[in-house]
A and B are shown apart, each in its own frame.
Chain A
Amino acid sequence: MTDAVAPTPTTSVMTFVKANIRDYALLLSLITIMVFFQMATSTALRQQTFADALMLVLTSPIEVFRNGILFTPLNMTNIILQNSYIVIMALGMLLIIVAGHIDLSVGFLSGLIGAIAGVLMVTNPFWPVEWKLGTFPTIGICLLVGAAIGALQGMFVARFLIPAFIVTLAGMLIYRGLMIFMLSGRNLGPFPDSFQAISSGYVPDLLAFMAPPGINLLAIVAGAVVTALILLSNWRGRRIEHAHGMADEPITLFYARNGLIAVAILGFSWIMSNHKGLPNVLVTMFALVALFMFVTTRTTFGRRVYAIGGNAKAAKLSGINTERVTIMIFAIMGALAAFAGLVYAARLNSAQPKAGAGLELDVIAACFIGGAAVTGGVGKITGVVIGAFIMGVMNNGMGIMGVGIDWQQVIKGAVLMLAVFLDVYYKNKS
């Protein structure tokens, strides 16, 4: 085992894809859905009968695709803004689901935190005290409150062994009530500009002096740098695996996969550069995703979460403090829900008594579409992010197409069911 004998991978492309069908299927689903909505929202198809539209798609698909709305810079920015809080909460939810629990309270917890932010910053005629705190103290307090509430829930789950379903169901009701109480049932706003910038601000284009007009150069450079870093890290990973004779991904597939990543990120940054550049929330979200990928794959904490979900008894008997780890993941979830609540409130520019309603369902759905297992122990951050964007693109695309909210729900439910069904189906087959 000491010699670095690197056997040339003999696995053929097809067998490898079959063995890893879950990962590829997810990515392909997202691409398919995006292409579908790009075509379906095309201005070329406006006011056409179904037959004519179909004819047009078959005869000049490129023309139809080019006139799509989904990939327009404005709409892409919208998709990011609309889904950022789902993605942010899904990161924490993945930890919780991997550990074998669930958190139903995140929607209303985020709403409650939005209300707290409102009370702390905005003049409220129904509240006895006026704080008028600044943006940063408010953010700090809100994140701490979120983490504390999460930790408290985690304590009931871990120490008193009350099922997370019950604890967070109770939490959901409590936070909703508190939120309505704090806002006296009314909208509270507007927020100061610096707070709004969390959601609607853009990173200033530091390279504007040398940028062509109408183009945000920073976005392009950032995209290029990120692409380079990802490709570099993938290449390094492959070399390490190779050194231990472990690389079994065929080289063609490796190139194809990395090429796709490069095209996607560069294309995306090009689109963003054609609008107002990089939204603050995109940068924050990206940083959080990177952080959670690191935590889940490279740290002892992440490893322990997966071990607890895989076999809690064995984990405990291996000396893992399962109680502490469980409390920590709920605290992290609480802090992320708080952050999502701030993003949401900043986006609407007011704290609203309906904020956060039903978000928990989108978050949980994103995790399960992304391949997390209900039984715990299985799930990846990449999967969850893709899962969240599958939901987000569908919401956005159906909205543009004018599909009613009723049918949107039906279709989203069907997609969730289908994703989990396929997951279980392939697991049983292998």
Chain B
Amino acid sequence: MGAEPILEMTSITKTFPGVKALTNVNLSVMPAEIHAVVGENGAGKSTLMKVLSGVYPAGTYDGTIRYDGKQRHFTGIADSEATGIIIIHQELALVPLLSIAENIFLGHETARFGVINWHEAHARTNVLLKKVGLVENPHTLITNLGTGKQQLVEIAKALNKSVKLLILDEPTSSLNEKDSDALLALLKEFRTQGISSILITHKLNEVLKVADRITVLRDGMTVDTLDTSTARVSEDRIIKAMVGRELTDRFPPRDAKIGDVKLEVRDWNVYHPQHADRQVIKNLSLSVRAGEVVGIAGLMGAGRTELAMSLFGRAYGQKITGEVRVDGKVVDVSSIPKAQKAGLAYVTEDRKTFGLVLIDHIKHNVTLANLPAVSNASVIDDPAELAVAQKYRKDLGIRCSSVFQTTVNLSGGNQQKVVLSKWLFSGPEVLILDEPTRGIDVGAKYEIYGIINALAESGKAVIVISSEMPELLGISDRIYVMNEGRFVAEMPARSATQEAIMRAIMKSWEN
């Protein structure tokens, strides 16, 4: 492999307002190479690929991209696609109600003067499908295909555009083992034809199966590039590079007084709301004690949010079965009001979509989940409501001009505090916090940790879902590790490490 790299990204730095997403990242891909890019959630993998494909156009980042022997300044996806860089996203970009052939030629129709030649399109689709090993009629609608086959259609679409560098973002995350193996075999096949691939994945066993080289990102920096042909690379070696972060985040001291079991969930099963045959949560059981903070760790797509939302009044999923007990008594959580009555509260990971009425002010948002508490016979007691809003503004330190400030104008941290206020005011016994510190600054994070501590101290049971492992290790008493709809490990936070969590996830994929 003495040839010149087909792609060389040098010193890529990308800054968003307030956040440095990438710092001097280097990535080089040789011709006919399968190159894996690995890293934790938020390590910068997707951002790097967006820089490469022109989603972030030249000029919005620093550093240089050399591709196919020339320096490139891509201004958009169309620009990079024209040179043979094709990216296939985690969420597939197919139109469900169009056929395979229509999707493959979408935007590149085999047309003369706007009139499509369907015979040619179908003939060429058959050739492409053969190349990716998919036996389907070109007329079949995408919606009638499984995820694995849809993935193959995406790749066929890429081949149609004479691809030189194929980028796959988490291609196997929703595939079963057989489909995954077929896909990886296809990448190897492409390698013999001289097509390079960049494979972004969490599944290290797959990386070791196919990758020639591995680039590890951590916190927006390149920490390692491993060559599987020259060195014996093990999963442990990669994990160490991925999580080698110091526990620099500070956490308020925590003195847990843990009581009796508060929440108990037994044999919880949930199916996907649209695909009734896809089981999202598989026979899962958990328990949380009063005064305890329990963390749930896992990678994107592990089913953590789905678990939380299905518990909270079946806000997610269908065909839900299982038993929920609060303080030892079986409770009905079949609707959101019932779940609230049972003492549950769920603070969403997506505060803008599910948490706040953004066009309304703080006061109205704080009381929204518990209006009866500030009203008599359905008439709102204005002074009482105002007092509630002022109380939470003070208790949680919401920084605003007044409680009449519209929530859309608040910073992320203060928005999060408003959502927290809303759920604290609903008087729950069990709080499920989903990514409570996502997208907020360090100072506000520390304040949120303090609030979580205070909640636990007041005897509530708290569940924290987070993708930031140091955070989970810092604030929890106990950690469940989740993968593919199951808890694959449970460990006391005191003795847990990031490596141990990652290893548990990787191990669960192997068997």
Contact = CB atoms under 8 A, between A and B. Distances in A.
B213 to A, nearest CB: 43
A316 B336 contact: yes
A303 interface: yes
Interface stretch (A113-121, A190-198, A318-326, A349-357): A318-326
A315 B378 contact: no
A311 B358 contact: yes
B368 A320 contact: yes
Contacts of A303: 364, 368, 371, 380
Given A313-B353, A315-B357, A317-B354, A307 B394 contact: no
A301 B372 CA distance: 10
Interface string B366-398: 001101100100111011001000100110000
A244 interface: yes
A314 interface: yes
B315 A317 contact: yes
A304 B371 CA distance: 9
A6 interface: no
B322 interface: no
Given A314-B355, A319-B336, A246 B371 contact: no
B509 interface: no
Contact of B380 (A299, A311, A317): A299
Contacts of B375: 299-300
A376 to B, nearest CB: 9
B348 interface: yes
Contact of A321 (B312, B337, B356): B337
Contact of A377 (B336, B355, B360): B360
A377 B359 contact: yes
A1 B392 CA distance: 11
Contacts of B378: 299-301
Contacts of B271: none
Interface string A302-313: 011011001101
Interface in B310-340: 312-313, 315, 336-337, 340
Contacts of B369: 318-319
A377 B357 contact: yes
Given A299-B379, A300-B380, A314 B356 contact: yes
Contact of A317 (B348, B394, B404): B348
Given A298-B379, A316-B336, A320-B368, A246 B354 contact: no
Nearest to A302: B380
Nearest to B338: A319
Contacts of B371: 300, 303-304
Contacts of B354: 313-314, 317
A307 B359 contact: no
B143 interface: no
Given A313-B354, A319-B340, A298 B348 contact: no
A311 B379 CA distance: 22
A377 B346 CA distance: 24
Contact of A240 (B382, B404, B422): B382
Nearest to A308: B357
Contacts of A288: none
Interface in B399-458: 402, 404, 422, 426
A306 B364 CA distance: 10
A298 B384 CA distance: 12
Contact of A307 (B313, B353, B357): B357
A215 interface: no
Name which of A246, A306, A310, A315 has the most chain B CB atoms within 10 A of its CB: A310
Given A245-B402, A299-B380, 9 more contacts: A1-B393, A1-B394, A300-B378, A317-B312, A317-B315, A317-B355, A319-B313, A319-B426, A377-B357
Interface of B: 312-313, 315, 336-337, 340, 346, 348, 353-360, 364, 368-369, 371-372, 375, 378-380, 382-383, 386, 390, 393-394, 402, 404, 422, 426
19 contacts: A1-B393, A244-B386, A246-B404, A298-B380, A299-B375, A299-B379, A299-B380, A303-B368, A304-B371, A306-B360, A307-B357, A310-B359, A314-B353, A316-B315, A317-B312, A317-B354, A317-B355, A318-B422, A319-B313
Interface of A: 1, 240, 244-246, 298-301, 303-304, 306-307, 310-311, 313-321, 377-378
